[in-house]
């Protein structure tokens, strides 16, 4: 009993420390946007909403959030649909060399999406006329996200029992119907997780958006954030903090929505 109490105490202290550690960096985001003269120091703000009015005056700020929505949403939908189809087929049908192929793609994706392939990606996009288009960004980032998405989703699908599919098949359901009405509902938390993960990575992504888009009218918020400097090169902290907050809200809202509606978890299959 004493051991139990001590254990409980230790775990409570641990939880409190972790909570403080993770919340600390976010305090600035909560305080600075409402401060009349924000500095780098977190302090109780001299309350004002003027910063929000100022950011709305910026010609690209609001539009850039719309651009992020198009690019992030487009990539998330593309990644979830294509990865679900591929993961399902790979999980259910034995293809020689399947695992090796998946690992190789996963490796490539984690290496290539970095700075390494910037030049080829740029040349490729130029030749395919994808520079300055939302589609270009969506296709390039999706190519990078798909291997990990397939990898994780296949794990989910492997864990779902096949008996439901077998009985559905006995009753004459087609493979697409089975996927849609049986497998997708079973792995829905996994799909939701992959969707949020894909959107969040594109939302915060900078490098490819910066290379592929010249026109500030099409740039997403993550790129526009780096234009909020004075002519002398000093960051405009009032605008940066305010825009950071505005730019973070949609992903947070999406996460809350998805976790309420579908559950935000890494497991598939029937609850045991």
From the list 51, 67, 241, 242, which residue makes contact with another protein (rule: CB under 8 A)?
241
Work out which of 54, 70, 124, 131 binds another protein, going by CB under 8 A.
124
192/185 Cα distance (integer angstroms):
11
d(CA 115, CA 54): 34
> Is position 204 an interface residue for another protein (rule: CB under 8 A)?
yes
**What stretches of the chain show up as alpha helix (H) in DSSP?**
2-23, 27-31, 50-57, 61-92, 98-112, 118-127, 134-159, 163-170, 175-178, 184-186, 188-204, 207-212, 221-224, 237-261
Distance in angstroms (rounded) separating the CA atoms of residues 98 and 199: 27
Among 9, 18, 50, 56, binds another protein (CB under 8 A): 18
Q: Is 200 one of the binding residues for another protein (CB under 8 A)?
A: yes
Question: Does residue number 106 form part of the binding site for another protein (CB under 8 A)?
Answer: yes
**Residue placing its CB nearer to another protein in the complex, 62 or 168:** 168
Task: Please name the residues in contact with 157: beta carbons below 8 A apart, sequence gap of 6 or more.
Answer: 87, 88, 91, 92, 183, 187, 268
Encoded one letter per residue, x for contact with another protein by CB under 8 A and - for no contact, window 43-72 reads ------------------------------
Site for another protein contains 42 (CB under 8 A): yes
Q: How far apart are CA 62 and CA 30, in angstroms?
A: 20
Separation between Cα atoms, residue 267 and residue 228, nearest integer Å? 41
| Distance in Å, CB of 67 to another protein, minimum | 13
Binding-site size for another protein (CB under 8 A) equals 101
Residue 167 tokens, joined: 């009985």
Task: Work out whether 169 is an interface residue with another protein (CB under 8 A).
Answer: yes
Cβ at position 117, least distance to another protein in Å: 4
- Please report, as residue ranges, which positions from 247 to 266 form the binding site for another protein (by CB under 8 A): 247-248, 251-252, 255, 264-266
Q: How far is the CB of 1 from another protein (least distance, A)?
A: 12
Tell me the C-alpha to C-alpha distance, in Å, between residue 74 and each of 142, 147, 235.
Answer: 9, 17, 31
Report the C-alpha gap between 197 and 148 in whole angstroms.
Answer: 11
Q: Does 165 bind another protein (CB under 8 A)?
A: yes
Residue 225 DSSP class: G
Does position 82 bind another protein by CB under 8 A? yes
Q: Which is nearer to another protein, 48 or 267 (CB)?
A: 267
Q: How far is the CB of 88 from another protein (least distance, A)?
A: 6
Return the range that interacts with another protein (CB under 8 A); candidates 44-52, 53-61, 239-247.
239-247
As a whole number of angstroms, the distance between CA 140 and CA 124 comes to 10
Nearer of residues 63 and 204 to another protein, judged by Cβ: 204
């Amino acid at each position: 009993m004493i051991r139990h109490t001590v254990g409980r105490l230790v775990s409570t202290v641990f939880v409190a420390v972790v909570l403080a550690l993770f919340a600390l960096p976010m305090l600035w985001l909560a305080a600075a946007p409402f401060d009349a003269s924000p500095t780098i120091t977190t302090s109780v703000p001299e309350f004002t909403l003027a910063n929000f009015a100022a950011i709305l005056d910026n010609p690209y700020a609001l539009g850039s959030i719309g651009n992020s929505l198009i690019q992030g949403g487009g990539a998330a939908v593309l990644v979830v649909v294509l990865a679900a189809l591929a993961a399902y087929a790979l999980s259910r049908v034995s293809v020689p060399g399947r695992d090796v192929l998946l690992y190789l793609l996963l490796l490539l994706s984690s290496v290539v999406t970095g700075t390494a392939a910037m030049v080829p990606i740029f040349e490729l996009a130029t030749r395919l006329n994808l520079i300055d288009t939302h589609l270009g960004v969506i296709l390039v980032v999706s190519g990078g996200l798909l291997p990990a998405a397939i990898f994780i989703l296949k794990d989910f699908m492997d864990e779902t029992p096949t008996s439901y599919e077998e009985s559905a098949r006995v009753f004459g359901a087609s493979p697409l119907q089975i996927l849609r009405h049986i497998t997708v509902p079973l792995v829905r938390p996994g799909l939701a997780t992959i969707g949020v993960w894909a959107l969040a990575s594109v939302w915060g992504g900078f490098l490819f958006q910066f290379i592929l888009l010249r026109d500030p009218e099409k740039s997403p918020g993550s790129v526009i954030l780096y234009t909020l400097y004075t002519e002398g090169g000093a960051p405009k902290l009032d605008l940066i903090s305010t825009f950071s907050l505005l730019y973070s809200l949609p992903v947070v809202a999406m996460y809350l929505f998805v976790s309420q509606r579908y559950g935000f978890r890494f497991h598939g299959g029937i609850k045991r």
